[in-house]
Amino acid sequence: MRPLAPEQLPTGWPASLLPAELPAGQSRLLTGLLNRVGVDGAVRDACRSRILESALTLALVIRHGQPHQGARFRIMRYLERHRHTGNPLEAALADTALGRGNVPVRHEMLAEMTAQVPEFAGVRKRALLHAVFIILGADPAYDTSGPDAFAVDALHPWAAVQVTAVKAVLGQAAGKAPLGAGDLALLASTQRRGIVWEGNLFVHLLVLHALADVPGMQATVDEGLGTALMYQRDDGGMPFVTDTDTWSTVTAGLALHAAGAPRRVLHRVGRHLRHVQHKDGGWSYTDRARLPDTDCTTVALEFLHQLDPYAYRDPIRRGLDALLAVRGADGGFPTYGAGTPSEACMTAAAVNALSTQGRLHHGIIQSALHFLAGSQLPDGSFPPGWSSSRLHTLFRAHLAANHSFRTPPSPIRDMNERILSLVLAAQRADGGFGQQEGSPSDAISTSYGLIILTGQGAPAPAARATRYLLAQLHHDSGGGITSPPDILGPRPFPYHVPVLADAFALLALGHLSRRIRPCRAAVPRPPAQRLATRRHRPSPAP
């Protein structure tokens, strides 16, 4: 996600062609994000409440949580307040959890959800949503889940546990034989008092529902419910995960570097990332998780290389080894673990990380880019990834092509041209970009679009996107960005960590600064330093 080097960019743009408020807006964003860097170098922001986990927790409290009636009342109030979000799936989940009639599981809702996830995950996601509605009290009506929905071969640990829990819920609803000893042992192994397994509250709750009617598991379920309620938010709702501290840190770190933040702060971030790196060399979205992922690993590698490739040579080397270890036979890269399906966005992310090493991995990069080009859809977009915005994979694929080649070969050049054509056509009248065709403009999608626009010739589209983005800045001293969430988990459910909007907006403006003549990053200085500069500035020549 790092900006392109000057030699990889077209001719610079005069600052006069871009919004006059750009330096002040970038400075406010930078100051706000600098203030989010903790003493230990981590960037933390709470994952906000969500209807999905709130509904699952309410169902569990109703069945097994007699001592938690206060929590029950607060969750119900949260669901009542948020059921009219405009999202039909969220409204159906909230209404079902609140007991508003015996809602049937709708075929079209299952089909719509399946269309929003990668093809290889579609059958599992359909079974998952079916199980969630049954947990919340919907009429099961039918069971469309064949054996493919419960196959755990080549699944990463989170997916294996999730699939096993779904199998238990659907099996109980259909009156099938209970889970075998191995499956029960797998589910029970995720439960430890006071600890949410892998930081994933959704999977934690799903497991508790799967175990709720199993003889001898009452104490485990009671303890697990108590653990879950430790993360009830002030608004009464429940989040998807305990935190995303490592993902927030790597994303913010790269944005801060692109914006010219003080190196002492950047090294504080770098030391934190070195501390939370796994023994196998990878990074996870949170230091509570043991399963590394390609997303966090690649962005951490880009950041550490940008910061100081010599000082961080050991974590960089180990991170690269971990990344290469999961490469697929098709040349692509998966999100989690060797042998799992390669994905376009993660392949682009891997290319961006590997390209920091010059030509060392040239053959691997070429193979990955050919996989990426082969994944592109006729309209220029890519299959669904981990963002509800189609522009997320687009901007990372655009960077992958341009980081790797000064003059890309034909298939890669064609891929990049289709990306640019789609983005130029998708820009709204207000200058912004939406998550999908027909979606209203939002700040995060616009940040992704702006990164792509900084790599093409004419400045007008980038200027319009910048103007829209700056208009989304808060007017208070914090200087943050307002945007709906786009990050997904489990796909296709979005979850909200507000600091990520600030990070991606600042990253986009950091990319833009590379096209401005002369290239100057907007680094805020303390008032005393600015005053001293004015006092010692030489007088104009007569």
For the annotated catalytic residues, the residue numbers are 295
172 is written with which tokens?
């109980």
The H-assigned helical ranges of 217-262 are 218-229, 245-258
- Find how far residue 330's CA is from the centre of its chain: 24
DSSP H/E element including 379: none
DSSP class per residue in 15-40: GGGS-TTHHHHHHHHHHHHHTTB-TT
- Give the residue from 20, 5, 18, 2 showing the smallest Cα distance to 516: 18
Q: What is the DSSP string of 136-166?
A: TT-B-------GGGG--TT--HHHHHHHHHH
Distance of CA 496 to the CA centre of its chain: 9
**What does DSSP say about strands 516-517 and 13-14: parallel, antiparallel, or unpaired?**
parallel
- Give the three-state DSSP class for 353: helix
Percentage helix, strand, coil, to 5, in the chain?
A: 55, 5, 40
The three-state DSSP-derived secondary structure of 446-459 is: HHHHHHHHCCCCCC
Question: Is the CB of residue 348 less than 8 Å from the CB of residue 388?
Answer: no
CB 175 within 8 A of CB 150: no
Contact of 341 with 329, CB cutoff 8 Å: no
Phi, psi of 473 (to 5 degrees): -70, 140
* CA-based nearest residue to 285, from 323, 251, 322, 327: 251
Q: Which residue has the tokens 């508003």?
A: 100
